[in-house]
Amino acid sequence: MEELKPTLVLDHVSKSFGDFTAVSDLSLQVRPGRVFGLIGPNGAGKTTTIRMIVNITAPDSGRVELFGQTMSTALQDRIGYLPEERGLYKRMKIGEQLRFFAELKSLRGAEAEKRIDLWLKKLDLFSWKEKRTKELSKGMQQKVQFITAVIHDPDLVILDEPFSGLDPVNVELMRETILEQKAAGKTIILSTHQMEIAEKLCDDVCMINRSRKVLDGKLREIRRSFSRNAVALQFQGGDGLLNDPALVANIRQHGDDTEVLLVPGASPQELLRRLVDAHVAVTKFELVEPSLHDIFIEKVREVA
Amino acid sequence: MRKFLAVVKREYVQRVRTKFFVVATVLGPLIMAGFTVVPAMMLGMKSGGPTRLAIVDQTGKMYERVAKELMSGKKTSDDEDEQTPNQPPVGNNNPKQRVEQSGKLFRGSYLVEDVPLKGRAIDDVKKDLETRIENRELDGYLVLPPNLLKEGQAEFRARNSADVFTNNYVAGAISSAVRGQRLAEEKIDENSVDAASVRVQLKTTGAEGRESKGAASFYLVFGVGFLIYMTVLLYGQFVLGAVIEEKETRIAEILFSSIRSFPLMMGKLVGVSLVALTQLGIWAMAFLIFSAWAAGGSSIKLPRIPLMMFVYFAVFFLMGFFIYATVYAVVGSMVTTTQEGGQLALPVVLMLVSGLYLSFNIIRSPSSPLAFWASMFPFFAPITMLVRIVTETPPLWQILLSLAIGFVTIVGLVWLAARIYRVGMLMYGKKATIPEVWRWVRQS
């Protein structure tokens, strides 16, 4: 994997609007065939970053390199983009609309027609092909919008908050579709402020906060390095058993779970042994890796 | 380039197919007619039968000449011109004459009756005639006093003294008759004078077919000025609406990720301009077919329009459209809602209206310095220059200069607009201020 050339490289990229700095000295690499999560709270600079990647705006300084070339309009056809703010022509028929957006990506004729039908069928929209946008529900419009991002079979697909406004059935459909794209060798950039989604889908992540990168790398490695020796427990009985400062650093209640943070160096096995010895009915005992959310909070605090 | 064409195609196809386009294409000419032709027709139309005039000839020798002039209706305006040299020296194009000429189109025929004095006092005769007018047996009477030839004054009593067309016509007829009689008495051959007059006329107006054009121009000028105003305004607003829609719905974001802002904006302008040309083309065709049909023996007379006029119209329409539509595109990219767009576009509309108002003055004196400058100023030129061309075609260099200025303006505006458009389309949430916009222009 490592020897493959990165699909996308951002090299010390900055962008400001007047006094406001949207992106500050951001460097990152997106490797081919992986799902790359661009995560951070609203207003962190995700959308501006994406706009520079798709060549809508140019960075004030730094360089954007795609497929080994400096970003240019010619490369735009190899990118598919689903913006956070969805937009379709309200009075245009779905089929025509897709044809237009395909043409803008240099895909036309019978091939375009074939792919339009294929995608409409795949996302259960084929019967709506001759309907106008305004007749469609929000979720349907979003799926149409998604098709505009992938219709021309781009090598890099950029999805900005692809799940917002979808019902659970369509969330699942979208998730499968994204994974299919990945399986087909596409590189996917997923921008979201919903950490749980990023956790489920991403191979790599880059966290940004207030225009700056706070962390990036492979998701698995990040989580391992942030492992805090914590255990999620569900049990009955054994009062006071956890009040041992030599073993337990902190206790938090998460719904039914009790999250026990062990002191550094302490063994989770020791905790389990004590519980068993005390005849506590243990229904759940799980080593927890920190969530992206926790990691993010921790990183942000660290920086501040 | 193919992406540009995709934008043009979408803009064109989506618009031409709308119900609005079909309805506007059908109703447009009717509305135009309502605004321009109908008032002119109503002004000029003679309702009812021929105008019945009685002539009391106190000179004893003028009746035949006057009657002949009234019934024949020839060369009235030419004579009129000669008899009244104190008119403004604007050649054949003064509005008075134009009114008269268009009046000619709608003039009914005249029935003339000789009322000999037979020794009665003139007042008694008049009293009789008044009674007959009241009884609607007569529409008016004419008294030719004994000293008509010397003093050049006659009396015309009409039921409707405000009927400009009849008044002018009668005055012209008498003038012509008096002139003929005077010449005859001086033993000068009337025909040679006519011939001489004609030659003078040709010198001042050039070799064009003045008569047909002059007759047409009275309402043609209003029609043309108004039509270009309406279409530029309408299609400019379409561009405004289209730009705001793409900004409001954030389609711009996807568009900009696929195509550069310049071909996108130009594609939009060109697409909408083609829609407009389609509509104007349909109107022109309909007009030509209709006038061909009307020429084949119908009572409705349409003005004959030289084909070159259609070309001029198309060219100046395009100039107006690209100037105003580009401004509209800028306005659209600066605002966030259609309402805001309407407010910000108000100065633009005022500019266009000014051009229309100026053309009223220009119709009266199409060669004045004001007319010249107004037709060189690119924001007025589409209307004002076209009005000048219709009334009194200016020298070709003026037309070409006006077009050249327009072209340079368009290039400059498009250059400016592309810069504002690119930034403005991605600015959400609030209306852009002028200083902001200026910064965008400088930065890019």
Identify which has the larger pLDDT, A65 or B50.
A65
The whole-number pLDDT of residue B39 equals 60
With beta carbons less than 8 A apart as the criterion, state whether B184 and B346 touch: no
Residue of B nearest to A106 (CA): B3
Of A147, A84, A89, give the one whose Cα is nearest residue A118.
A147
- List the domain boundaries for chain A: 8-223, 228-288
pLDDT of B68-90, one tens digit each?
887 775 444 443 333 333 333 33
With both helix axes pointing from N to C terminus, report the angle between B210-248 and B95-106 in degrees, rounded to the nearest 10.
100
- Cα torsion A17, A19, A20, A24: sign: positive
B313, two tokens: 């119209």
To 10 degrees, the CA torsion angle through A196, A197, A203, A207?
-70
Same domain, B147 and B261: no
- Structure tokens of B255? 């568009």
Task: Give the strand pairing for A230-236 and A257-262.
Answer: antiparallel
Instruction: Please tell me whether residues B338 and B377 are part of one structural domain.
Output: yes
In this structure, what are the phi and psi dihedrals at residue A202, rounded to the nearest 5 degrees? Answer: -90, 145
The length of chain B is: 444
The three state secondary structure string of B192-243 is HHHHHHHHHHHHHHCCCCHHHHHHHHHHHHHHHHHHHHHHHHHHHHHHHHHH
List of chain B residues whose C-beta atoms are within 8 Å of the C-beta of residue A105: 258
Average pLDDT for residues A226-255, to the nearest whole number?
80
pLDDT of residue A116: 94
More confident residue, B73 or B276: B276
Q: A101 — contact with chain B (CB < 8 Å)? A: yes
Q: Do B425 and B410 fall into the same domain?
A: yes
Q: How distant, in Å, are the alpha carbons of A150, B68, B110 from that of B64?
A: 91, 6, 14
What crossing angle do the helices spanning B210-248 and B307-334 adopt, rounded to 10°? 20
Q: Which residues of B touch A96 (CB under 8 A)?
A: 10
B398: containing domain: 2-35+211-443
Q: Hey, what are A52's tokens?
A: 């520079």
Q: What is the mean pLDDT of chain B?
A: 78
Contact, A166 vs A174, CB < 8 A?
Answer: yes
- Same domain? B333 vs B403: yes
Residue pair A232/A288 in contact (Cβ under 8 Å)? The answer is: yes
Question: What is d(CA B186, CA B193) in angstroms, rounded to the nearest whole number?
Answer: 12
Q: How confident is the model at residue B45 (pLDDT cuts 50, 70, 90)?
A: low
Region of residue A252 (phi > 0: left; psi between -120 and 50: alpha; otherwise: beta): beta
Could you tell me if B174 and B227 lie in one domain? no
- pLDDT at position B12: 93
Smallest CA–CA distance, residue B329 to chain A, in Å, is 18
Residue position matching structure tokens 């991605």: B426
Question: Quick one: pLDDT band at residue B40, thresholds 50, 70, 90?
Answer: low
> By CA distance, what is A105's nearest residue in B?
B258
CA distance A188 to chain B (A): 16
B42 is a domain residue:
no
pLDDT in tens, B370-383: 889 988 999 999 99
Site of tokens 């403005």: B424
Domain contains B41:
no
The reply to whether A146 touches chain B by the CB within 8 Å rule is no
pLDDT tens for A152-204 read 999 999 999 999 888 899 999 999 999 999 999 999 999 988 888 888 899 99
Q: How many domains does chain B have?
A: 2
pTM of the model: 0.71
Cα separation, A273 vs A231, whole angstroms: 13
Given the DSSP bridges, would you call strands A248-254 and A257-262 parallel, antiparallel or unpaired?
A: antiparallel
Whether residue B232 is found in the same domain as residue B341:
yes
Amino acid at A64: V
Calculate how close chain A gets to B260, using CA atoms only, in Å. Answer: 7
Domain boundary among B207, B237, B267: B207
The per-residue DSSP string of B314-381 comes to HHHHHHHHHHHHHHHHHHHHH-SSHHHHHHHTHHHHHHHHHHHHHHHHHHH-TTSHHHHHHHHSTTTH
The average pLDDT across A244-270 equals 82
Residue A57 sits at the chain B interface (C-beta within 8 Å): yes
First-to-final CA distance of chain B: 22
Q: Is residue B224 situated within a structural domain?
A: yes
Nearest CA to B262 out of B371, B420, B78 is that of B420
Neighbours of A269 (CB within 10 A): 8
Residues B223 and B319 placed together within one structural domain of the fold: yes
Helix (H) or strand (E) holding B51: strand B51-57
> What is the CATH topology of the domain spanning A228-288?
Alpha-Beta Plaits (3.30.70)
Mark whether B202 and B216 lie in a shared domain: no
pLDDT mean across residues, chain A? 87
Instruction: Work out the average pLDDT over A40-60.
Output: 88
The residue-averaged pLDDT of B163-192 equals 80
Chain A hits for B426, Cβ within 8 Å: 51, 56-57
| 3-state SS record for chain A | CCCCCCCEEEEEEEEEECCEEEEEEEEEEECCCCEEEEECCCCCCHHHHHHHHCCCCCCCEEEEEECCEECCHHHHHHEEEECCCCCCCCCCEHHHHHHHHHHHCCCCHHHHHHHHHHHHHHCCCHHHCCCEHHHCCHHHHHHHHHHHHHCCCCCEEEEECCCCCCCHHHHHHHHHHHHHHHHCCCEEEEEECCHHHHHHHCCEEEEEECCEEEEEEEHHHHHHHCCCCEEEEEEECCCCCCCCCCCEEEEEEECCEEEEEECCCCCHHHHHHHHHHCCCEEEEEEEECCCHHHHHHHHHHHHC
The strand pairing partners of A30, in sequence order, are A8
| CB–CB contacts below 8 A, A to B | 65
Tokens 């195609």 sit at which residue? B9
In a shared domain, residues B392 and B285: yes
pLDDT band, very low/low/confident/very high, at B100 (cuts 50, 70, 90): very low
User: Beta partners for A252?
Assistant: A259
B430, with CB counted inside 10 A (0-12, 13-18, 19+), is exposed
- Judged by CB atoms closer than 8 Å, whether chains meet at A57 and B426 is answered as yes
Could you give the CA distance from residue B398 to residue B374 in angstroms, rounded to a whole number? 12
Q: What is the ipTM of this complex?
A: 0.81
Considering the domain architecture, whether residues B156 and B80 belong to the same structural domain is answered as yes
Pick one of 3.80.10.10, 3.40.50.300, 3.40.1190.20, 2.70.98.90 as the CATH number of A8-223.
3.40.50.300
Chain B residue closest to A97 (CA)? Answer: B10
**Which of B419, B238, B237 has its CA nearest to residue B334?**
B419
Residues B137 and B61 in one domain: yes
**pLDDT, average across residues B107-112:** 70
Contacts of A108 in chain B (CB under 8 A): 2, 6
Q: Is A107 on the interface with B (CB under 8 A)?
A: no
Q: How far apart are CA B290 and CA B286, in angstroms?
A: 6
Quote the CA–CA distance of A262 and A282 in Å, as a whole number. Answer: 17
- pLDDT of B187-232, one tens digit each? 777 777 776 665 444 433 433 444 444 444 556 777 788 888 988 9
Cα–Cα distance for residue pair B82/B176, rounded to 1 Å: 10
Task: Note whether residue B43 is domain-resident.
Answer: no
Are B20 and B103 contained in the same domain? no
**Cα–Cα distance between B344 and B433 in angstroms, integer?**
11
Per-residue pLDDT at A145: 92
A228 has a pLDDT exceeding 90: no
Question: To which residue do tokens 């059908």 refer?
Answer: B26
Q: Assess A90–B contact: CB distance below 8 Å, yes or no.
A: yes
Choose one of B172, B207, B242: the last residue of a domain.
B207
User: Does residue B246 have a pLDDT over 80?
Assistant: yes
pLDDT at residue number A115: 94
Which residue, among B253, B336, B433, would best test binding to A if mutated, counting the most A CBs under 10 Å from its CB? B253
Examine residue B40 and state whether it is found in any structural domain, yes or no: no
* pLDDT > 90 fraction of chain B, expressed in percent and rounded: 18
Any chain B CB within 8 A of the CB of A106?
Answer: yes
